[in-house]
Structures are given as structure tokens and as C-alpha cells.
Amino acid sequence: MTEPKAEKSGAKKALGIVGAILVIVVIAGLKFGVASAIGNFFNKDETAAAKTGDCIAELPEVTGTEQEKVDGAKVVECTSTDAAYTVVGRVDGQTEAQVKADTTCTQFFKEGQEGYIFSSIEPGKTGYVLCLTKKV
């Protein structure tokens, strides 16, 4: 007589599959930077899709060539009472040095118009610049 083969139960098979998937996810996360992905998910750049004609909520007042780090900048409806700035131009693929040169937005500002520059650029990488004017 032959003994019947012991078969894995359905729960054990499912657990094995879930374990294999978890191992793949962990390896992929380590290789591609889970921390960065999680950080981007929780600290979503709410101005990343901003385009000419959009409006931005109030930002801290900065004068001259000062720069200030801003958290929580966001695009809002232009009819909203929160709308403080209008996007008059957008320039992608900019470095920090290009933004500091202070010429990125000059083509978008009219003569005598007070303009503001908002940029989102990670150190050592390129990003985008929004050219803003105060909403009237």
C-alpha cells in the first residue's frame, strides 16, 4: 500500500504566495526607494500640475532676492477667496542656479509689474518654476 501524499491546505498556499509577493515588494522598495515614494505620497506637491492661468493660495511675503521654503502651497480656484497669485508663466527643467540667476520669469512679467517666483526643485536636480503676479 502507498501512503497518500500530504497536500498543503489552501491557507498555507495563500500564505506562501503572499509571503513571496511581500519579499518582492521589499526588494523593489529597497532598490527603488520606498522612503522616497512614501514621502512623495504624504508630502504631495500640490503645485506640480499648475499651469498658466491657475491661481495659487497665499504664500509668505518675501522681498528682494530673499528666498523662503514654503510648505503647503496649493493651486486653488481663481474665484476662491484664498486665491492670492495668478500663474502667468511656467518653466520646466530648471536648476537651482537658473532660478537664482533671477531671469527665468522676466519674459512673463510686464514692464513695471511686480512679479514673484515660486520654484520646486530638489537639490542637485531639475524642477519647475512658476512665475506669479498678485491677483487683483
Give residue for cell 512673463.
108
Q: How far apart are CA 95 and CA 35, in angstroms?
A: 24
Closest CA to 67 of 102, 34, 40, 95: 102
Nine-digit cell string for 132: 506669479
Nine-digit cell string for 116: 514673484
Give the pLDDT confidence of 20-33 residue by residue, as tens digits. 565 565 555 555 55
* Three-state SS at 88: strand
Average confidence (pLDDT) per 10 residues, the chain, 136 residues: 59 61 56 47 74 90 66 88 94 90 88 88 92 90
Find the distance separating the first CA and the last CA of the chain, reported in whole Å.
92
pTM value is 0.64
